[in-house]
Amino acid sequence: MINTTPERPTSIGVEDVRDYPMFIDGQWTDSESGKWREVTTPVSRNLVIGRAPDASADDVNRAVQAARRAFPAWRALHFSERQRILAKIADALEARTEEFARLTALDTGNAIRTQARPEATTTVNLFRYFAGVAGEVKGTVLPAGENQLQYTRQEPLGVVGCILPWNSPLMIAGFKLPAALAAGNTLVVKAAEAAPLSLLLLAEVCAEHLPPGVFNVLTGRGSVAGAALVGHPDVDKVSFTGSTEVGKGVARKASERLAHVSLELGGKNPSIVFPDAAEDDDLIGNLLLASRVQRQGQSCTAGSRLFLHTSIYDDVLSRLVDALAEQVVGNPLDEVTDIGAIINATQLESVSQYVTEGLSTAGITAALDGTATPTDADGYYLRPTVFSGADNKWRLSREEIFGPVLVAIPWTTREEVIEMANDSHYGLAAYVWTHNLDDALTTAHALETGWVQVNQGGGQVIGQSYGGYKQSGWGREVSLEGMIAGFTQTKQINVRIAG
């Protein structure tokens, strides 16, 4: 047992490599196995900034048992008490927003101005939102007759296991944690191996306000700690965000014991530009936002399949390429940086392979070759690449690259572009660019995705339903309805009233 709150780095100037223990049952702890794994920062290639425990199945069991013990008292609290606690956590997070932003930049490589700071702010807002709606976990009363009282209650599921990815771990934790807690569940959270630090800082803040065992954070490998959490008989629900491939395995394993499961998975999202939108002054800025290149393309909602109408194809493409070429790629802790670092060498290699494939395939044109100009920074940095004249059937157009790579595909009729956009096993998000109401709404309604944005690249509001169609996932988050559907179950009570 370690049990002292560790100091956390906020710049890569830290000379000493520290241990960052995990958080179980209100205590800072190492793994029972005694094993640790190095934590590196993508900011500077291979720089080790610490170690985090390599959690074993025994550690998972410890955390689940702590969450189980804490559940009866936590669920029994009046909602207004859970609300008060979550609102206090939101205030405490807000007071440390800058620390969270810097740590997120260091942990994930996301640029502080364009990504990490907004992610920290959104996390605060998510805690505040779910604190606010904690009293909305309501049932219904049925019109069952004068001698009957028939009603439903929305009850918590119990122990929820949350498994998080590395791309925006803090904000995605904010999608799940306050919703599950507000509804009366207790939590065991498994941080991604590649970016565990912001989650451990979140545990530190929550520890000041939550009873021991209500919120536990594990570090370690997905194949060990993640798998043990999914398979643990005392975990009532698994809430997973990550790749479609791993998500399918998680769903299979959790289904063996009929545990509740929700999945937020990958995307290969269409961004459809109609001719009239080319007139918009802010089109290019918005397309850039939608492409998520400012998060290195490491976003499940990246509008990476760019469908440009043939009449405006060359004009929009050349303006977008100019704007992408001007993006400042470099140290995520630097305020001038637009695009930070790719998470690690493996991911850089994976993205680079897609780029190499595009560059070496006959018939594909690189309108912008991100590999042609190296960046000045020493780390996993890559400038954006745009492939032009793409075919929707190409591997580059079908697979989630999760890097700053766009494919531009020409189209002529609305029916044709809708068909191409829907020709994907993914269905997370989509973008439609036109001021023609009929085109905008017909297209938005026909797209097989869980989220469609019209004429904007950002615009996610806390409280909106968020989740995927098809192989982009099961369930919804970020919203009151997602909280009720995802973190409660319905109990029906029928009472005979003696007259």
Least Å from the CB of residue 337 to ligand NAD? 21
Site string for ligand NAD, 264-283 (x = CB under 6 A): xxxx----------------
Q: Which residue is nearest to ligand NAD (CB)?
A: 222
3-state DSSP call for residue 490?
strand
Among 29, 41, 241, 337, binds ligand NAD (CB under 6 A): 241
Nearest CA to 344 out of 48, 90, 95, 30 is that of: 48
Distance between CA atoms of residues 40 and 46, nearest Å: 6
468 to 105, 287, 376, 450, 475: CA distances (angstroms): 27, 21, 38, 5, 7
Q: In terms of CB distance, is 148 or 346 closer to ligand NAD?
A: 346
Least Å from the CB of residue 400 to ligand NAD? 6
Asked whether position 429 contacts ligand NAD by CB under 6 A, the answer is: no
Q: In terms of CB distance, is 74 or 402 closer to ligand NAD?
A: 402
Which residues touch 107 (CB under 8 Å, ≥6 apart)? 41, 169, 195, 196, 197, 198
Distance between CA atoms of residues 266 and 402, nearest Å: 9
Q: In terms of CB distance, is 184 or 404 closer to ligand NAD?
A: 404
Q: In terms of CB distance, is 312 or 421 closer to ligand NAD?
A: 421
Q: In terms of CB distance, is 65 or 296 closer to ligand NAD?
A: 296
Q: Which stretch, 114-122, 210-218, 224-232, 451-459, contacts ligand NAD (CB under 6 A)?
A: 224-232
DSSP 8-class letter at 466: B
Phi, then psi, of 391 in degrees rounded to 5: -105, 140
Which residues touch 72 (CB under 8 Å, ≥6 apart)? none
Least Å from the CB of residue 35 to ligand NAD? 16
Among 111, 124, 300, 386, binds ligand NAD (CB under 6 A): 300
Distance between CA atoms of residues 52 and 8, nearest Å: 12
Among 246, 355, 382, 485, binds ligand NAD (CB under 6 A): 246
The active-site residue, picked from 264, 399, 419, 448, is 264
Q: Return the residues of window 116-155 that contact ligand NAD according to CB under 6 A.
A: none
Distance between CA atoms of residues 52 and 18, nearest Å: 9
DSSP 8-class letter at 456: -
Residue 48 bridge partners (DSSP):
40
Among 167, 186, 262, 388, binds ligand NAD (CB under 6 A): 167
3-state DSSP call for residue 19?
strand
Asked whether position 190 contacts ligand NAD by CB under 6 A, the answer is: yes
Asked whether position 161 contacts ligand NAD by CB under 6 A, the answer is: no
Q: Which stretch, 58-66, 159-167, 417-425, 490-498, contacts ligand NAD (CB under 6 A)?
A: 159-167
The active-site residue, picked from 300, 349, 448, 481, is 300
Contact 101, 116 (CB under 8 A): yes
Site string for ligand NAD, 360-399 (x = CB under 6 A): ----------------------------------------
206 to 88, 212, 213, 340: CA distances (angstroms): 9, 10, 11, 28
Q: In terms of CB distance, is 261 or 409 closer to ligand NAD?
A: 261
Asked whether position 164 contacts ligand NAD by CB under 6 A, the answer is: yes
- Does 146 participate in catalysis according to the annotation? no
Asked whether position 249 contacts ligand NAD by CB under 6 A, the answer is: yes
Q: In terms of CB distance, is 133 or 224 closer to ligand NAD?
A: 224
Least Å from the CB of residue 423 to ligand NAD? 19
Q: In terms of CB distance, is 246 or 316 closer to ligand NAD?
A: 246
Asked whether position 250 contacts ligand NAD by CB under 6 A, the answer is: yes
CA 426 to mean position of chain CA atoms: 16
Asked whether position 400 contacts ligand NAD by CB under 6 A, the answer is: yes
Among 384, 473, 475, 482, binds ligand NAD (CB under 6 A): 473
Phi, then psi, of 453 in degrees rounded to 5: -110, 140
Q: HSE of 170 in the Cβ direction (CA atoms, 13 Å)? A: 32
Contact 177, 189 (CB under 8 A): yes
Least Å from the CB of residue 362 to ligand NAD? 29
352-358 long-range contacts (CB < 8 A, ≥24 apart) are 352/382, 354/395, 354/396, 354/399, 354/401, 354/403, 354/405, 355/385, 355/403, 355/405, 357/395, 357/396, 358/385, 358/387, 358/396, 358/405
Which residues touch 170 (CB under 8 Å, ≥6 apart)? 100, 104, 119, 120, 123, 198, 199, 202
Least Å from the CB of residue 236 to ligand NAD? 16
Compute and round to an integer the Cα radius of gyration of the chain.
23
Least Å from the CB of residue 323 to ligand NAD? 24
Asked whether position 304 contacts ligand NAD by CB under 6 A, the answer is: no
Least Å from the CB of residue 455 to ligand NAD? 22
- Does 264 participate in catalysis according to the annotation? yes
Residue 496 bridge partners (DSSP):
148
Asked whether position 476 contacts ligand NAD by CB under 6 A, the answer is: no
The CA-to-CA distance between both ends of the chain, in Å, stands at 61
Binding site for ligand NAD (CB under 6 A): 163-167, 172, 190, 192-193, 222-223, 226-227, 230, 241-243, 246, 249-250, 264-267, 300, 400, 402, 428, 468, 473
Q: Which residues are catalytic?
A: 264, 300
